[in-house]
């Protein structure tokens, strides 16, 4: 007997029985086995995989998307420099000007009118040489009056001294007179006493002589006491008068010196400069007339950034190079006043000075601040003024972006800045100005 599959059997049966195939399929009466249902995980597996991929994509996008403020610009607008390892020379270039080592100023002690100008500006003068003659009528009249007053006071002092001397001599004459009277009375009393013993003297005469002797003795004691008092007072008064007289004479000498100062002379030998005067010009008291400079020996005066104020000290070395020669210098004076962000120092040549230098000439010198050391270096750029050395933009390896990074920078010279922390050798940083990037955390760099 031939076996017919179930579906075929059902079809034959349907034909034989006259029942439609649609009804048989609906009833399932002709099926051999039941079909198992798929689980929920298998039915939603594709959706779960898609959701996981979406979540991972969002996480990757959040991780790779730059944070903070960013700016896109062309890489040609910035300067990128590498971090290198090298020797850091701790110096600062300074621009110096030549000034005389010794300068003596000519100031008008007393004001006046220019009567004569005997020397022109730029001439060499000798010490004591007359340069300018001034006139001051008020000063001349005042000095004349002071001379008269001083002379009068000196005369008064001499009169007092004469009176004191006369008093001393008068006391001396009084003592001489008293001694004479006492001696005379003593002899007279002696005669009266001898006559009294003989019984021929008058008693009243003896008593009168004794009383007169006692009077002169008392008067002599008073005169001696008066003489001692007057002598003590005289010594004190004479010392005071002599001191006062000396002061008056000094005042008179000062007044005459002020009058003599109207004749302006060179205090030292040298080159006269700054003498811009004309005959008839009025000069105020204490006004600057000019100066006398040492024409042979010079020093340098330089302006240094206030950043280095604490690192500059007396005796610090510097160097000036010209024509293949080095001229060593040292710091001889520091002016601590800061003007427009700079302070000034004086530099003295240590030994020979360059030939042919002139006052006012400018020179480029190098001031040494410390010893040369091995360090990580970045080029000195304009970025430092915008960041203060606190942070810098670091370029990634692909050169597509520069990220802001905190760093610690140390010493700097005209070429390099010492890196203390935050950068490694081989990294690249932006060293151009940050004027427009101060508030930006990331620079997106695009090629030309």
DSSP 284: -
What confidence category does residue 37 fall into, taking pLDDT thresholds of 50, 70 and 90? low
pLDDT of residue 330: 93
List pLDDT tens digits, range 343-394. Answer: 999 999 998 888 888 888 899 998 988 878 899 999 998 899 888 889 999 9
Beta strands in 111-173 (DSSP E): 112-117, 124-125, 130-135
- Residue 150 to residue 42: CA distance in whole angstroms: 131
Tell if the pTM clears 0.75, that is, is over it: no
What's the mean pLDDT in 333-343?
Answer: 91
Ordered strands of the 401-406 beta sheet: 70-74, 442-446, 401-406, 391-395, 428-430, 80-82
Residue 337 in this model has a pLDDT that exceeds 70: yes
List pLDDT tens digits, range 80-101. Answer: 999 999 988 888 888 999 999 8
What confidence category does residue 42 fall into, taking pLDDT thresholds of 50, 70 and 90? low
Rg (CA), the chain: 58
Cβ atoms of 163 and 172 closer than 8 Å = no
List pLDDT tens digits, range 399-440. Answer: 888 999 999 998 888 788 999 999 999 999 999 999 888 888
CB count within 10 Å of CB 441 equals 16
- Residue 98 to residue 102: CA distance in whole angstroms: 12
Give the range among 254-268, 316-330, 380-394 with minimum mean pLDDT: 254-268
């Amino acid at each position: 007997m031939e076996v017919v599959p179930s579906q075929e059997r059902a079809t034959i049966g349907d034909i034989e029985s006259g029942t439609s195939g649609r009804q048989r399929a609906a009833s399932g009466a002709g099926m051999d086995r039941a079909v198992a249902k798929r689980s929920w995980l298998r039915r939603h597996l594709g959706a779960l995989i898609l959701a996981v991929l979406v979540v991972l994509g969002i996480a990757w996008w959040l991780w790779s998307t730059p944070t903070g403020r960013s700016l896109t610009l062309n890489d040609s607008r910035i300067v990128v420099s590498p971090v290198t390892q090298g020797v850091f020379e701790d110096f600062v270039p300074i621009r110096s000007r030549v000034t005389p080592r010794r300068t003596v100023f000519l100031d008008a002690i007393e004001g006046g009118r220019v009567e004569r100008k005997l020397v022109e500006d730029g001439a060499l003068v000798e010490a004591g040489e007359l340069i300018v003659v001034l006139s001051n009528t008020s000063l001349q009249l005042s000095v004349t009056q002071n001379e008269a007053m001083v002379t009068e006071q000196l005369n008064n002092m001499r009169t007092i001294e004469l009176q004191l001397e006369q008093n001393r001599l008068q006391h001396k004459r009084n003592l001489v007179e008293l001694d004479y009277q006492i001696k005379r009375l003593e002899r007279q009393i002696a005669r009266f006493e001898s006559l009294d013993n003989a019984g021929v003297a008058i008693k009243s005469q003896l008593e009168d002589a004794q009383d007169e002797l006692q009077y002169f003795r008392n008067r002599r004691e008073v005169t001696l006491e008066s003489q001692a008092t007057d002598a003590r007072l005289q010594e004190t008064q004479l010392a005071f008068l002599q001191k006062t007289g000396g002061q008056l004479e000094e005042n008179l000498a000062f007044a005459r010196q002020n009058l003599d100062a109207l004749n302006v002379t060179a205090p030292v030998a040298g080159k006269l400069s700054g003498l811009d005067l004309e005959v008839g010009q009025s000069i105020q008291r204490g006004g600057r007339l000019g100066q006398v400079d040492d024409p042979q020996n010079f020093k340098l005066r330089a302006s240094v950034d206030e950043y280095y104020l604490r690192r500059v000290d007396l005796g610090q070395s510097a160097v000036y190079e010209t024509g293949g020669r080095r001229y060593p210098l040292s710091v001889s004076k520091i002016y601590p006043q800061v003007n427009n962000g700079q302070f000034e120092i004086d530099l003295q040549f240590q030994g020979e000075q360059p030939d042919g230098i002139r006052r006012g000439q400018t020179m480029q010198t190098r001031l040494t601040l410390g010893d040369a050391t091995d360090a990580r270096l970045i080029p000195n750029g304009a970025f430092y003024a915008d960041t203060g050395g606190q942070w810098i933009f670091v370029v990634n390896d692909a050169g597509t972006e520069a990220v802001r990074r905190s760093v610690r920078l140390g010493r700097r010279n005209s070429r390099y800045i010492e890196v203390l922390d935050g950068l490694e050798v081989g990294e690249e940083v932006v060293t151009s100005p940050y004027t427009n990037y101060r508030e930006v955390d990331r620079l997106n760099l695009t090629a030309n």
